[in-house]
Amino acid sequence: MVKKRIIPCLDVKDGRVVKGINFLNLIDAGDPVEQAKHYSDNGADEICFLDISASLENRDTMINVVKKTANEVFIPLTVGGGISSIENIQALLKAGADKVSINSAAIKNPSIIKEASEYFGNQCIVVAVDAKKHNNDWFVYSHGGTKKTDLLALSWIEKAQELGAGEILLTSMDKDGTKSGFDNELLGKVSEFIKIPVIASGGVGTLDHFYDGVVKGKADALLAASVFHFNEISIKEVKEYLKDKNISIRD
């Protein structure tokens, strides 16, 4: 069967990797190409770049980062952050990205999912969803988690699937940054509800959190940023831990 994927996510600002907690007190943490290569050499199954540059010009810097990464890294690369048009997507794919993740632009204009997946194929369109629980329902947030929308996470995800999304990157805002584990309740509901793969994101802090994300959250892939950046857990450790527990993992 298909292996569960471990995906390190790198926050990239103005062409450099940055580290921080919740986008605050960012420190320069090196060259994204080198870091992507390092993760790839250490067993990452895919790489994710999240562009958090504030200006449009600096987004062009991302294109160059992607091009350079394509010279060195031969595993799938997803790029997200500020993607708002078919032209943005085309430029990134042409530069060597395999998938793009769309968030706020899809909320504002859902037809971009349909257009993009028809044009480029649904395999390269990831819809990123930031969700937060209010009473008993999860609501979707846009603009990097700063704006609450009226969309219910489950109905929005179902709609994204219908429009042609190839994959859902689901971040729990309640869990993000807490290191208390993924929101497995939310993940489990979404994973059972839809037919496309789900990437779990937000909250991982220990090795057993990865295991729970697969077993309780039924996620197809697990994304983490800070535990990998700050060398708290290595990708190798995660993979060995999961393999020991009989989760199907790539060697």
Partner 1 sequence: MKKITIVDYGSGNVLSAQKSFIKIAKDNNIDVEVLISKKINDVKNSTHIVLPGQGAFSTCMNGLKKTDGLIDELSEFALIKKKPFLGICVGMQMLAKKSEENGDHEGLGWIDGQIKLLPGDNLKLPHMGWNLVIPTNSKYNNLISTKNDYYFVHSYYFECADKDNILAETKYGTNFTSIVGKENIYGVQFHPEKSSSQGLNLLKEFIGV
Stretch that binds partner 1, among 67-75, 138-146, 152-160, 225-233 (CB under 8 A): 67-75
User: CB–CB of 94/69 below 8 Å?
Assistant: no
Closer by beta carbon to partner 1, 107 or else 168: 168
Binding flag, residue 96, partner 1 (CB under 8 A): yes
Answer yes or no whether residue 71 interacts with partner 1 by CB under 8 A.
yes
Looking only at residues 181 through 200 of this chain, which bind partner 1 when binding is defined by CB under 8 A? 195-197
Integer Cα distance of 146 and 129 in angstroms: 13
Read out DSSP for 186-237?
A: HHHHHHHH-SS-EEEES---SHHHHHHHHHTS--SEEEESHHHHTTSS-HHH
Other C-beta atoms closer than 10 Å to the C-beta of 30 total 14
Residue 174 bears catalytic tag: no
Beta pairing, strands 137-142 & 125-134? antiparallel
Q: Which of 14, 16, 38, 75 binds partner 1 (CB under 8 A)?
A: 75
Catalytic residue among 45, 51, 130, 183: 130
What are the counts of helices (DSSP H) followed by strands (DSSP E) for the chain? Answer: 10, 12
Residue 102 CB partners (closer than 8 Å, separation 6+): 80, 83, 89, 112, 113, 116, 125, 126, 127, 128
Which residue, 18 or 170, is less far from partner 1 as judged by CB?
170
Min CB(184)–partner 1 separation in Å: 18
Would you count residue 39 as binding partner 1 (CB under 8 A)? no
- By C-beta, is 37 or 229 nearer to partner 1? 37
**Residue among 30, 42, 58, 76 that touches partner 1 (CB under 8 A):** 76
**Residue 223 to residue 201: CA distance in whole angstroms:** 5
Q: Is 208 one of the catalytic residues?
A: no
Residues noted as catalytic: 11, 130
Interface residue list for partner 1 (CB under 8 A): 1-5, 40, 45, 67, 70-71, 74-76, 93-98, 118-124, 166-167, 195-197, 220-221, 250-251
